[in-house]
Structure 1
Amino acid sequence: MPNIPTAQSTIFFCCDLQSGFKSSIYGYDQVVATANKMVKLAKVLDIEVVSTTQYAKVFGGIDAGVDLDLLGPLKIPTIDKTLFSMVTDEVKAILEARPHVEHVVIFGIEGQICVLQTTLSLLSLPKKYTPYIIADGVSSSSTFELPILFDRLRQEGAVVTTSESLGFQLVGTSANPKFKAFSAFVKETKAATTRAGEVLLLGKSV
Structure 2
Amino acid sequence: MATISRATRIRNPAVFLCDIQERFRTGIYEFSKLVSTSEKLLKAAQTLDIPVYVTTQNRARLGDTVSELQPYLSHSNVQANIDKTLFSMITPEIAALLPAFSSSSFPLDAIIVGIETHICVTQTTLDLLARGHRVYLLVDGVSSMNPEERAVALSRLRDAGAIVTSSESIIFEMLGDAKRSEFKAISNLVKECKEETTAALEVFAKI
Deviation string 1:45-74 (CA, Å, 9 cap, x unpaired) is 111111000000100100011144366111
The aligned counterpart of 1:104 is 110
Give the deviation of 1:100 after TM superposition.
6.1
TM-score normalised to structure 1 length: 0.90
Tell me if structure 2 keeps the 8 A contact 1:11–1:47: yes
Q: Summarize the alignment of residues 112-127 of structure 1 with structure 2, pairs less than 5 Å apart.
A: 112-125=118-131
* Equivalent-residue separation in structure 2 for 1:79 and 1:101 (angstroms): 23
Pair 1:161-2:161 in alignment: no
1:4 aligns with 2:9: yes
Considering fraction of residues, name the structure with more helix.
Answer: 1
Classify the secondary structure of the residue corresponding to 2:20.
coil
CA distance in 1, matches of 2:21, 2:28: 10
Per-residue CA deviation, residues 145-202 of structure 1 (Å, 9 max, x unaligned), is 1111111111000011000011111112222222111111111111111111112224
Q: Distance in 1 between matches of 2:94 and 2:71?
A: 17
| Superposed CA RMSD | 2.0
**Is 1:32 equivalent to 2:35 in the alignment?**
yes
Determine if contact 2:7/2:109 at 8 Å carries over to the other structure.
Answer: no
CA distance in 2, matches of 1:142, 1:70: 28
For 1:110, the aligned partner's letter is E
Change (3 A) 1:155 1:184: same
Identify if the C-alpha distance between structure 1 residues 72 and 97 changes in structure 2 by more than 3 Å, giving closer, same or farther: farther
**Match in the other structure for 1:75:** 78
Question: What residue ranges of structure 2 are gaps of 5+ in the alignment?
Answer: 1-5
Unaligned runs of 5+ in 1: none
* Correspondent of 2:67 among 64, 85, 98: 64
Tell whether the 8 Å contact from 1:10 to 1:104 is kept in structure 2 after alignment: yes
Compute the TM-score of the two structures, normalised by the length of structure 2.
0.89
Deviations 1:5-33 (A, max 9, x none): 13xx1110000000111121000011111
- The alpha-carbon distance between structure 1 residues 77 and 92, as it changes in their structure 2 partners (threshold 3 A), is closer
Contact 2:107 2:134 in 1 (8 A): no
Distance 1:22 1:169, change over 3 A: same
